[in-house]
């Protein structure tokens, strides 16, 4: 992931509503969610939702697939992992000190963290 892509992704995520949308899609997984479904769950007007969905799509963080009248949005997991890799790349100049354990904090429900 290039610097400009990382900036675009971080800018897109640095907003309450967009982060909520993205998290919803991350949890939803590869199945994705319909646009209206997202709007209902997050309680935002269609115009506002569409604006933020476009921002996320432009940043490469989500993808849109029209299905008839509906549009299915999905998180772009490659982009998410690429962003994480960008943030932590060459952490502490590559040394493996205690402070630099990128990814060590990743956990899932039930992991006890």
Partner DNA sequence: TCGACTATTCTAGTTTTATGGAAACGAATG
Partner DNA sequence: CATTCGTTTCCATAAAACTAGAATAGTCGA
In the complex, which residues of this chain contact DNA (CB under 7 A)? 11, 15-18, 34-37, 39, 44-55, 64, 66, 68-71
Backbone angles phi, psi at 6, to 5 degrees: -65, -45
Among 4, 1, 8, 6, CA closest to 55: 8
- Find out whether 61 and 25 touch, Cβ atoms under 8 Å: no
58 binds, among DNA, a copy of itself, none (CB under 5 to 8 A by kind): none
How many residues form the binding site for a copy of itself (CB under 8 A)?
A: 49
Residue 66 contacts by C-beta under 8 Å, 6 or more apart in sequence? 72
Window contacting a copy of itself (CB under 8 A); options: 36-44, 50-58, 62-70, 86-94: 86-94
Window contacting a copy of itself (CB under 8 A); options: 34-42, 46-54, 65-73, 93-101: 93-101
């Amino acid at each position: 992931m290039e610097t400009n892509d990382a900036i675009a992704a971080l800018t897109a995520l640095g907003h309450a509503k967009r982060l909520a949308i993205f998290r919803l899609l991350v949890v939803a997984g590869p199945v994705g969610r319909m646009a209206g479904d997202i709007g209902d769950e997050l309680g935002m007007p269609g115009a506002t939702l569409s604006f933020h969905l476009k921002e996320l799509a432009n940043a490469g963080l989500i993808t849109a697939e029209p299905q008839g009248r509906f549009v299915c949005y999905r998180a772009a997991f490659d982009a998410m992992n690429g962003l994480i890799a960008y943030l932590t790349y060459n952490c502490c100049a590559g040394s493996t000190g205690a402070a630099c354990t990128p990814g060590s904090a990743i956990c899932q429900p039930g992991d006890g963290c």
